[in-house]
A and B are shown apart, each in its own frame.
Chain A
Amino acid sequence: MRREEEPRRPFYWACLALLTHKPLTMNSVAAALLVWTLTSPSSSGHGTEEAWPTHMACSGGGLEVFYQSCDPLQDFGLSIDQCSKQIQPNLSIRFGIILREDIRKLFLDIALVSRGSSILNYSYPICEEDLPKFSFCGRRKGEQIYYAGPINNLGIDVPQGEYQILLELYNENRATVACANATVISS
């Protein structure tokens, strides 16, 4: 269910404005309360929509990676083969998802945050019309995808600490294909 909170807001103000313009009698207070109780459950129900569970992508070698899907429509599965503080180049992963969009064109955005401040923002094309890098490029909306293979990353040593990473996969219309809030703990 899509969140439709934004268009709702003016309506609330209209409700409240109308009511507060009247002299505050017991009746109008009761009416206001009634309106509030009638309308707020539906909105708070949307606001605190149940989030997807947090999964562990890998753990070992002093590194733990947790992720949670931030696509309101669905969860996805990810596991990283070798976990280590010294991240090896060209890691292998396993990834399973249902495509909500065609992925003839697919892009990845990475935003890395540590202690509340942004460290890195990066955008990378995975599938392009003139250069489909992976065998899954060009697959269609609705298809279920399982990918087990290399991701062609750079090797990097992760300094001790906790990091938040926002990963977004999207197509040429910026429609979300997958979204992950990841936490990386290096100890």
Chain B
Amino acid sequence: MALDISCFLLVALFSASCETITSLDQMCIEKETNKTYSCENLGLSEIPGTLPNSTECLEFSFNFLPTIQNTTFSRLVNLTFLDLTRCQIYWIHEDTFQSQHQLDTLVLTANPLIFMAETALNGPRSLKHLFFIQTGMSSLEFIPVHNLKNLESLHLGSNHISSIKLPKEFPTEKLKVLDFQNNAIHRLSKEDIQSLQSATNLSLNLRGNGITEIEPGTFKSTVFQSLDFGGTLNLLVIFKGLQNSTIQSLWLGTFEDIDDEELSSSVFEGLCEMSVESISLQKHHFLDISSNTFHCFTNLQELDLSATHLKELPSGITGLNNLKKLVLSANKFDNLCQIHAANFPSLTHLYIKGNTKRLVLGTGCLANLENLHLLDLSHNDIETSDCCNLQLKNLSHLQSLNLSYNEPLGLKTEAFQECPQLELLDLAFTRLRVQAAQSPFQNLHLLKVLNLSYCLLDTSNQHLLDGLPALQHLNLQGNHFPNGNIQNTNPLQILESLEILILSFCDLSFIDQAAFIGLKIMNHVDLSHNRLTSSSIEALSHLKGIYLNLASNSISSIPPGLLPILSQQRTINLRGNPLDCTCSNIYFLDWYKENRQKLEDTEDTLCANPPLLRGVKVSDVTLSCGITAVGIFFLIVFLLLFAVALIFAVKYFLRWKYQHI
């Protein structure tokens, strides 16, 4: 009978807990306690009662709220961010957000709005960002204007709007972003732009609107932070219309799915009569590029010619003397000299990445760029057996060089002698061929960051990293060490300034005890995804307060002698190790419980042994090993009682026997 009841209790308990688990499916995800919640894709038709009143950020997209009104959100008075994307909202009735005084951002994207009441947006004291993307809007009169004094950005993309003219009473003093992407705006008039007059430093986005006409003088003496006419077919119209305007950044690129005409040089004549700092002409075809094409670009600081099908730039170009930043990515150059770098003597930033042909660096092609600070030559299939002094000749001010994702490069000692000012060098995923005992990075006195991930380096070369006194950040991910072992003598030992070291995916199985002894100020060590066991932890004994990532290694038990080394660190990640949760590892398990605040990813730090506890979080395991003091006490009492009973038994037995003699 008792068993019956206990079974029923068990069943009741299980079914109850199973139910709570199923109902969790319907629950919002807590991203930040009492503040940020995500209730996306739950098919909810009201705000769940489980959400605390203190909620500040609510992601409520893809639910079902056909009508929203003053009772819908009334409880959540602390809301600052509310995302109602695609909630099938048709009606926004009066005073819907009346109690949301803190509301700052409201996202109503992709709701088939039929009507918004005059007081629908009243309540918030400082509503800054409004998203009405794809709400079926055809007129700006649709938006109630009463409470938009503090509006900074208004997003109206993918609607049926045909004029950017804001209603008379629409406040624009604080407006910084006005986004009309993918609408049906074909014409801009003086009146339209005048309605934006009181906005300063405005970014106006008209991407994906087929502008075919701009009334002459429309942009006369206007100032814009940025103007985006992306995908516009007729650039001549744009340049003519923008006469006498001042624009920080002008985006005129086009797209793969838009049939554009070839641009003739005469199109750019309009630039002579306007002031632009930065221009993008991405993906256009140029009919004829001559040395005269850019003569109106004199005041330009930045020019983006990405994917413009360029095979060559002519020499002797006039008008680009003052250019600071040039992007020539995704073009079709054969040789770096074909850009004729002498055209841009003031250049500080040059990006040529993702060239669609194998790029040959040549000799001294950039030698005229004395002021160059940043050079990006990644993803270009560059291959050379002797890099990089001839190729980077005279780039004595270069601070940042990106040669990642190229074909094999051969480096000799002092391979970057021509750029002694380098602070950042990225060679990731470019195979490096360095002869034994050579030191390619020698004399890079200022180099702070070096990315050598997946460079397939020969790490037995003790002089590989010589000459880097200032190096702070070294990434060696995916390189292999002889026999999977970092020995006491290794190329890292001389990097005295190193703070961040990444050795993940290096197939390491052991690190010698003194392998990092020369690295005294490291504060971030990533040894994840190797085959290390706890014995390698000793190599970190001289370091304190570091971030230590040991995730996905082969650590099973950690002997008590090594625990002080872990205790002195700031954060430790042990996720994905085959941790031992038996009594043989009890010291570590106790330590783990006491140092929870130091541990990262505890949700994924699981036991692998014993089989019964496989997959259980280490933090959930409680073992009782050995005999406790109470146990010992009871055992002694029991033994004493037993002894007394035995003595009595023997006594009675003997007495009984004597009586029968």
Contact = CB atoms under 8 A, between A and B. Distances in A.
A38 B158 contact: no
Given A130-B306, A139-B157, A142-B61, A38 B134 contact: no
A141 B7 contact: no
Interface stretch (B20-28, B188-196, B360-368): B20-28
A141 B208 contact: no
Interface stretch (A4-12, A113-121, A176-184): A4-12
A35 B11 contact: yes
Contact of A39 (B18, B230, B612): B18
A165 to B, nearest CB: 22
Nearest to B253: A132
Interface in B152-189: 155, 157-158, 181-182
B204 to A, nearest CB: 15
Contact of B7 (A27, A39, A135): A27
Given A27-B7, A30-B7, A150 B257 contact: yes
A62 to B, nearest CB: 28
A73 interface: yes
Interface in A82-136: 98, 100, 130-135
A149 interface: yes
A146 to B, nearest CB: 11
B257 A131 contact: no
B203 interface: no
B255 interface: yes
A45 B4 CA distance: 30
Given A8-B21, A31-B11, A142 B85 contact: yes
Given A73-B41, A131-B282, A138 B11 contact: no
A140 B108 CA distance: 11
A132 B11 contact: no
Contacts, number: 114
A31 B7 contact: yes
Interface in A39-54: 39, 42
B15 interface: yes
A27 B3 contact: yes
Contact of B134 (A19, A25, A144): A144
A34 B15 CA distance: 9
Contacts of B231: 135
A38 B15 contact: yes
B180 to A, nearest CB: 13
Nearest to B109: A142
A135 B208 CA distance: 7
A17 B612 CA distance: 9
B25 A1 contact: yes
A130 B131 CA distance: 24
A2 B253 CA distance: 40
Contact of B306 (A8, A31, A131, A138): A131
Contacts of B282: 131-132
A31 B17 CA distance: 15
Given A27-B4, A39-B18, A140-B157, A131 B329 contact: yes
Contacts of B4: 27
Interface string B1-34: 0011001101100110110011011000000000
Contacts of B392: none
A38 to B, nearest CB: 5
Contacts of A98: 86, 110
Interface string B37-64: 0000100000000000000000001100
A173 interface: no
B154 to A, nearest CB: 14
Task: Using C-beta atoms within 8 Å of the partner chain, give the interface range for chain B.
Answer: 35 or more
Nearest to A31: B7
A132 B255 contact: yes
A143 B109 contact: yes
Interface string B278-311: 0000110000000000000000000010110000
Interface string A68-87: 00000100000000000000
Contact of A140 (B41, B133, B330): B133
Contacts of B457: none
Contact of B22 (A2, A42, A139, A152): A42
B255 A135 contact: yes
Interface in B216-263: 230-231, 253, 255-258
A130 B307 CA distance: 11
Given A135-B231, A135-B258, A10 B616 contact: yes
A138 B155 CA distance: 12
B7 A42 contact: no
Contacts of A143: 109-110, 133-134, 157-158
B7 A150 contact: no
Contact of B10 (A31, A100, A147, A152): A31
A160 interface: no
Nearest to A141: B85
Given A4-B25, A31-B11, A38-B18, A9 B615 contact: yes
Contacts of A11: 17-18, 21
B116 interface: no
B257 A135 contact: yes
B327 interface: yes
Given A131-B307, A139-B158, A142-B109, A152 B256 contact: yes
A134 B258 CA distance: 8
B133 A142 contact: yes
A149 B259 CA distance: 10
Given A10-B616, A140-B109, A34 B257 contact: no
B112 to A, nearest CB: 11
B86 A142 contact: yes
Nearest to B181: A138
B62 to A, nearest CB: 8
A187 interface: no
| Residue of B25, B155, B208, B257 contacting most chain A CB atoms (<10 Å) | B257
A76 B30 CA distance: 30
27 contacts: A1-B25, A4-B24, A11-B21, A15-B14, A19-B10, A25-B3, A27-B4, A28-B7, A31-B8, A38-B14, A73-B41, A98-B86, A98-B110, A130-B327, A132-B230, A132-B282, A133-B256, A133-B307, A134-B257, A139-B157, A139-B158, A139-B182, A142-B61, A142-B62, A142-B109, A143-B109, A149-B256
Given A4-B24, A18-B10, A132-B255, 11 more contacts: A4-B21, A39-B18, A98-B86, A130-B329, A135-B258, A138-B207, A139-B158, A140-B155, A141-B85, A143-B109, A143-B158
Interface of B: 3-4, 7-8, 10-11, 14-15, 17-18, 21-22, 24-25, 41, 61-62, 85-86, 109-110, 131, 133-134, 155, 157-158, 181-182, 207-208, 230-231, 253, 255-258, 282-283, 304, 306-307, 327, 329-330, 612, 615-616
Going nearest first, the 8 A-B pairs with the smallest beta carbon separation are: A142-B110, A149-B257, A142-B85, A142-B86, A31-B7, A135-B255, A142-B109, A39-B18
